[in-house]
Chain A
Amino acid sequence: MPGLWKPGSRASAGKGKSMPAHRADDDGERTRRFRDAALPCLDDVYTLARYLLRDADAAEDAVQECYLRALKHFDSYRGPAIKPWLFAILRNICHAEFARRMNSPTAIAEIAEAESQEAAPLWHEAQASPEAELLRRRDATTIQRLVSALAEPFREILVLREMQNLSYREISDIVGAPIGTVMSRLARARAMLRTAWMAEEEPHK
């Protein structure tokens, strides 16, 4: 779907160059600059890790690894904003973790599930009267649980968009997929969350 997006959010051509490295910064200065820029994002990076890995301890390890790697590669970092860059590094670390867990039966089942969900039509479960449908307020813990239950590619895209407020272009850069894919995955992720959200209310009625 070309030509859909605002011209402002397109392409990375013409990005500004970063500070030239001619100044021979020492390690202390470099570390200080990195800390000032990256540490304010710690809660956001940790949040993404929690949703991606669904495990508090694994998330802590992944975030620590992410910051160490980011510091190591800080010299080669040339923008854009630091947060998406940290997210991209974190995502690679989490995927290595997925690969490690790959042999477990749950991982294989989840991948198969995600693939079938991606292929299914969006409106396979059309509501009888959508105009009458009202979402009931859920508490934060319930929403967190519902989002965490989504299959990986949908969970990831939903967290990047709804909780981290990234633009489609930034998400597309992080997950390495075209914007069209980001859009269709996001539509599906929201449809899946909404179905789960409605289903969640049934037992309370």
Chain B
Amino acid sequence: MTCDEAEILLHALLDDELDAGHVREVEAHIATCQRCAAELNAYRDMRSAMATSDLHFTAPPQLRQRIEVAFPKAHTPNRRAVLKGFAMGSVLSALAATGLVVVVLRHEDEQRILSEVVSAHLRALQAGHLTDVLSTDQHTVKPWFNGRLDVAPPVVDLTAQGFTLIGGRLDHVNGRTIGAIVYRRRTHVINLFVAQTTNAESRMAKIETVQGFNIRHWSERGLTYWAVSDLNADELADFGSKVELAAGAS
């Protein structure tokens, strides 16, 4: 590797954006090139100086207010909506006769639960109540759930893969207490919710987006998992498959 290539790639190294092969190449170059090593150190210093300074601006309260006021008012049911409701009712009874309703309701139920999972994720972020047990050690987090839940959620260490374990928490979804294991990827928080399923069927992972959050959910060995984050879908999928793999191996 030449210095010209290294001068660009050392930034990707700092940003944790290089694949393992290129990490090795850049590191090998830096080990033999004093100048590039010095560059890397200078940029690392500058990044950490920026990270420890608060360079954000806070939106003025009047801006928040202006935006809120501009939103349309909450909908009040009018006669047309009520009529539509009746029409919907008769459609449902027609469907019930054919047995299709079961499928529809199950779908509605799933969407409602996804919505609740996102609310739980938001609640945890906004209330600043992310963890009940704060630890990066899986052997501390896993036993903490003992006696608090009717299941033992697998807690896997994915630090080496770039997902830092932060801790665990009890949360409520669909009227039940469930476990939440909290990870971090850069500044993105991932809540991994785990609950017992009523049947033991395995279900393939699906990624959906609700209210702008990505959710990867799947079922395996009597447990259902929902990984929720504002992380992009690809990285969340990557996270999910690593959890599946590690949980399957344990």
A interface, CB within 8 angstroms of B = 3-12, 14-19, 23-24, 26-29, 31-40, 42-47, 50, 59-60, 63-64, 67-68, 71, 77-85, 122-123, 130-131, 133-135, 137-140, 143-144, 147, 161-163, 165, 167-170, 183-184, 186-187, 190, 193-194, 197
User: Chain B, 200-214, contact with A by CB distance < 8 Å: what is the 0/1 string?
Assistant: 000000111111111
Given A67-B67, A81-B214, A167-B17, check contact A147 B46 (CB 8 Å).
no
Given A6-B17, A28-B75, A36-B122, check contact A77 B212 (CB 8 Å).
yes
Most A CB contacts (10 A, CB to CB) among B19, B37, B53, B57 go to B57
Complex Cα–Cα for A19 and B111 (A):
7
Given A67-B67, A161-B15, A190-B46, check contact A43 B207 (CB 8 Å).
no
Provide the main secondary structure of the chain A interface: helix
Most A CB contacts (10 A, CB to CB) among B63, B64, B111, B237 go to B63
Within 8 A of A (CB), among B61-77: 63-64, 66-68, 70-76
B interface, CB within 8 angstroms of A = 7-9, 11-12, 15, 17-19, 22, 34-35, 37-39, 42-43, 45-47, 49-51, 53-60, 63-64, 66-68, 70-76, 81, 84, 111, 114, 119, 122, 125-126, 186-188, 206-216, 229-235, 237-238
10 A-B Cβ contacts within 8 A?
A6-B17, A8-B237, A14-B233, A16-B214, A28-B75, A37-B211, A47-B55, A64-B63, A143-B49, A143-B55
The reply to whether A80 and B233 form a contact with Cβ atoms under 8 Å apart is: yes
List the 6 closest A-B pairs by CB distance, nearest first: A82-B212, A16-B207, A28-B75, A79-B209, A8-B238, A28-B74
Complex Cα–Cα for A80 and B229 (A):
10
The reply to whether B209 and A80 form a contact with Cβ atoms under 8 Å apart is: yes
Complex Cα–Cα for A37 and B70 (A):
16
Report A-chain residues with C-beta under 8 Å of the C-beta of B206. 16
CB nearest to A130 among chain B residues: B38
Q: Shortest CB–CB separation between residue A163 and chain B, in angstroms?
A: 5
Complex Cα–Cα for A43 and B45 (A):
26
Given A9-B234, A12-B234, A64-B67, check contact A130 B126 (CB 8 Å).
no
Given A15-B207, A47-B57, check contact A135 B42 (CB 8 Å).
yes
The reply to whether B56 and A4 form a contact with Cβ atoms under 8 Å apart is: no
Report B-chain residues with C-beta under 8 Å of the C-beta of A7. 19, 238
CB nearest to A188 among chain B residues: B8
Most B CB contacts (10 A, CB to CB) among A6, A12, A82, A122 go to A6
Given A37-B212, A43-B56, A46-B63, check contact A193 B187 (CB 8 Å).
no
The reply to whether B57 and A43 form a contact with Cβ atoms under 8 Å apart is: yes
The reply to whether A168 and B232 form a contact with Cβ atoms under 8 Å apart is: no
Q: Shortest CB–CB separation between residue A72 and chain B, in angstroms?
A: 10
Q: Shortest CB–CB separation between residue A80 and chain B, in angstroms?
A: 4
Q: Shortest CB–CB separation between residue A43 and chain B, in angstroms?
A: 5
Q: Shortest CB–CB separation between residue B225 and chain A, in angstroms?
A: 15
The reply to whether B8 and A187 form a contact with Cβ atoms under 8 Å apart is: yes
The reply to whether B72 and A135 form a contact with Cβ atoms under 8 Å apart is: no
Complex Cα–Cα for A45 and B60 (A):
12
Complex Cα–Cα for A12 and B233 (A):
8
Report A-chain residues with C-beta under 8 Å of the C-beta of B42. 130, 133, 135, 194
Report A-chain residues with C-beta under 8 Å of the C-beta of B229. 81
Q: Shortest CB–CB separation between residue B163 and chain A, in angstroms?
A: 11
The reply to whether B57 and A81 form a contact with Cβ atoms under 8 Å apart is: no
Q: Shortest CB–CB separation between residue B113 and chain A, in angstroms?
A: 12
The reply to whether B18 and A4 form a contact with Cβ atoms under 8 Å apart is: yes
The reply to whether A26 and B53 form a contact with Cβ atoms under 8 Å apart is: no
The reply to whether A167 and B18 form a contact with Cβ atoms under 8 Å apart is: no
Complex Cα–Cα for A168 and B235 (A):
12
Given A33-B211, A37-B212, A80-B209, check contact A46 B235 (CB 8 Å).
no
Complex Cα–Cα for A37 and B209 (A):
11
Complex Cα–Cα for A143 and B35 (A):
25
Complex Cα–Cα for A166 and B204 (A):
29
Report B-chain residues with C-beta under 8 Å of the C-beta of A47. 55-57
Given A122-B7, A130-B38, check contact A135 B46 (CB 8 Å).
yes
